[in-house]
Amino acid sequence: MQCGAVPDNVASNEGTDMKLSVKPIKRMVYRAWLRSRLENYTRSLHAIAAQRENDFHAERILHRAISATRSKLQSM
């Protein structure tokens, strides 16, 4: 055997090891993708909740303004 030459059985084992290692890599990438989606959904949900809170405060202000205007209108 020459220096640096790899026996046939080692090369075939490397191929088998490569096939076995693809599944964990796929799983790792898929889990990372799922975590990314979850973070995106969570940010969207927080944005919607903040918008609802803003809408609630705006609605309260508007109701106060309507109430005050009706009160002034009735007192005339």
Q: Give the 3-state DSSP-derived string for the chain, with helices as H, strands as E and coil as C.
A: CCCCCCCHHHHHHHHHHHHHHHHHHHHHHHHHHHHHHHHHHHHHHHHHHHHHHHHHHHHHHHHHHHHHHHHHHHHC
pLDDT, tens only, 31-71: 999 999 999 999 999 999 999 999 999 999 999 999 999 99
User: What is the predicted pLDDT for the residue at 76?
Assistant: 85
Residue 56 has which token pair?
A: 């609630």
Q: Whole-model pTM?
A: 0.55
Residue 30 has which token pair?
A: 């898929």
pLDDT band at 21, cuts 50/70/90?
confident
User: What is the predicted pLDDT for the residue at 16?
Assistant: 55
